[in-house]
């Protein structure tokens, strides 16, 4: 996907602050953090949103959740708790159309969200 911001981050064409990487996923710090820890975990395949995950692609979702577990432990937020979010579509507040899991922590996360 030529015009996708997150595909360019994966390829290194756009710089990012890498937190974690494996065969299936890449994780980096959010440029506009909403919490002391705010990390984006993305699949290395261009998938538009959680709605577009097809049979055969769920391995990426698995890997994203596993990465969230590892990163939460490494960042020291696993014990106190954190939030993981897939913003989806317009009402979900999705602005980048490459699947991403927000990992937020380091403070109490209000509910309901804004
Ligand atoms: P969403 O609004 O759920 O689509 O999330 C997109 C996220 O990408 C936002 O939290 C942005 O702050 C973040 N973002 C946009 N551009 C960059 C970038 N170049 N590096 C890191 N994070 C970014
Ligand atoms: Zn992409």
Q: Which two tokens stand for residue 58?
A: 């769920």
CA distance 95 to 33: 15
90 CA from centroid of ligand 1 (Å): 15
What residue ranges line ligand 1, CB within 6 angstroms? 5, 14, 16, 30-32, 40, 87, 93-96, 100
Closest atom of ligand 1 to 38 CA is: 10
Give the pLDDT of residue 110. Answer: 96
Q: State how far the Cα of 58 lies from the Cα of 17, in Å rounded to an integer.
A: 26
Q: Of 52, 1, 57, 2, nearest to 24 (Cα)?
A: 57
pLDDT at 1 > cutoff 90: no
Q: Residues with beta carbon < 5 A to ion ligand 2?
A: 1, 4, 6-7, 46, 98
In the chain, the domains with their CATH numbers are: 5-105 (3.30.428.10)
Q: What is the pTM of this model?
A: 0.98
80 CA to centre of ligand 1 in angstroms: 25
In angstroms, what is the C-alpha Rg of the chain? 14
What is the average pLDDT across 45-51?
Answer: 98
Q: Per residue in 85-109, pLDDT tens?
A: 999 999 999 999 999 999 999 999 9
């Amino acid at each position: 996907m030529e015009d996708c911001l997150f595909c360019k981050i994966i390829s290194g064409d756009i710089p990012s602050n890498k937190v974690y990487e494996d065969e299936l996923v890449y994780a980096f710090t959010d440029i506009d953090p909403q919490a002391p820890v705010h990390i984006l975990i993305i699949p290395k395949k261009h998938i538009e949103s959680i709605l577009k995950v097809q049979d055969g692609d769920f391995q990426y979702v698995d890997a994203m959740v596993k990465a969230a577990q590892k990163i939460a432990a490494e960042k020291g937020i696993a014990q106190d708790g954190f939030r993981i979010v897939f913003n989806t579509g317009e009402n979900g507040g999705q602005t980048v159309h490459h699947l991403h899991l927000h990992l937020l922590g380091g403070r109490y996360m209000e509910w309901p969200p804004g």
